[in-house]
Structure 1
Amino acid sequence: MGQSHDQVPSFEEIELDNPIGAVEEFTINQDWNAERTNEYELWAEMPGQWGNQRLWVAFHEETGYLQFNAYMNLKIPQRFLPQAAQTITLMNERVWLGHFEIWSEERTPVFRVVLPLRGAELHPEQLEDVIAAIEEETDRFHPALQWVVWGGKTPEEAIAAALVDTEGEA
């Protein structure tokens, strides 16, 4: 599976029963650092407005689920976990595709999207939409978590500030 960058197959040529190849091609086209850990998993470094994020994409062959986890560049101190969890609940109320959670082992916020693909192929537009959602939501809500953890704001204040900043950007 380890093809050189100059011999990457086109999206249409990639195996339809394993969409990780299409995700790998996408990351190469974006010029992201990426590594396939096995046939069904890929890690990539995804740039964001608030720093790079680790993107893990895995395909579960039995169910046909394609999972995207974007690990945000932020660690939640133990004492702020309740406030961060409340903030994430408020963030999730405003998200259309995917959801936020806190990865308990690392206390890192994660944005997760799962696409059910059983019996269907991954279309380039779907992949673009998922990546766009990950980028937009993590960029939009990263400051809210920062304000709760480091700025002393309540979850409600942090969400309100994040939404005002987002609406005010051109």
Structure 2
Amino acid sequence: MTLDDEEAAADPSAPIDMLEEYFEAHGWSSERQGDEEIVAHFQGSWTLYELRAVWREEDQVLQFLALPDVRVAADKRAAMYETIGLINEQLWIGHFELWASSGMLLFRHAALLDGEGESVLTLDQAETLVEAAIDECERFYPVFQFVLWADKTPAEAIAAALIETQGEA
């Protein structure tokens, strides 16, 4: 199903529809949670990601979350908050969070889709939204693992995980 601009402007679930098409085009399993939410799954290099988008029509905001399979135990949370702070300083789009109630790590960002009374998510915007989240999760997953499992400090973990290699092995 492809929405033309007129249909998209009239349909309050159009941003979710576009993401559903994007997920289907990539062969990723997805499930709608009504007109305002969709959940998909993507197997990354390091882990399985849950990708979740929530559309708030009244605000014209599409919130996109990528949840790597990472849970942070209570005794590691202080180090993880420091790690997240150092990482977020480097990001242009979105940010990492740690949900205190569950210890769940996630990447989140939002897109304001209010364009002259229309709330349309273009294919390019959908791709940027999804790929930015996945790229940042993949890039920083080793950092989180070094802090959680190798007992490295946040600075050590970032230095170890983000070294730039030169040449070929």
Same fold (TM over 0.5): yes
Alignment of 1:17-36 (within 5 A): 17-18=12-13, 19-36=15-32
Once residues 29 and 64 of structure 1 are traced to their aligned partners in structure 2, the CA distance between those partners, rounded to angstroms, is 25
- What does residue 159 of structure 1 align with? 158
| Secondary structure in structure 2 of the residue aligned to 1:146 | helix
SS in 2 for 1:127: helix
How much has 1:118 moved relative to structure 2? 1.7
Per-residue CA deviation, residues 25-77 of structure 1 (Å, 9 max, x unaligned), is 11111111100011110011122111111111010000000000111111111
Of the two structures, which has the highest relative contact order with CA contacts closer than 8 Å and spacing of 6 or more?
2
SS in 1 for 2:87: helix
Aligned-partner SS, 1:168 = coil
Return the alpha-carbon distance in structure 2 between the equivalents of residues 140 and 89 of structure 1.
15
User: Which sits farther off after the overlay, 115-124 or 55-64?
Assistant: 115-124
1:86 aligns with 2:86: no
Structure 1 residue ranges without an equivalent (≥5): 1-8
Q: Deviations over 1:100-139 (max 9, x none)?
A: 0012232111000100002342111111111111111000
Number of residue pairs matched by the alignment: 160
Residues 126-170 of structure 1, C-alpha deviations (whole Å, 9 max, x = no match): 111111111110001011011001001000011111211xx3288
- Does the Cα contact within 8 Å between 1:11 and 1:25 map onto a contact in 2? no
Structure 1 residues 133, 38: closer, same or farther in 2, change over 3 A? same
Task: Report percent identity of matched pairs.
Answer: 34
What is the CA deviation profile of residues 68-94 of structure 1, one whole-angstrom value per residue up to 9, with x for unaligned ones?
Answer: 011111111110000001000011011
Question: 1:11 Cα deviation (Å)?
Answer: 4.6
Partner of 1:10: 2
> 2:94 pairs with 88, 95, 98, which one?
98
- Provide Cα deviations, 1:1-36, integer angstroms capped at 9, x if missing partner: xxxxxxxx1253763343100001111111111000
Confirm or deny that 1:168 pairs with 2:161: no
| Aligned partner of residue 111 in structure 1, secondary structure | strand
Measure, in 2, the Cα distance between the counterparts of 1:168 and 1:112: 28
Identify the range of structure 1 (118-127 vs 154-163) with the bigger mean alpha-carbon deviation: 118-127
Aligned to 2:64: 68
Alignment-derived partner of residue 136 in structure 1: 135
Quote the Cα distance in structure 2 between the aligned partners of 1:46 and 1:107: 21
- Could you list the runs of 5+ residues in structure 2 that have no partner in the other structure? none
Superposition RMSD in Å:
1.6
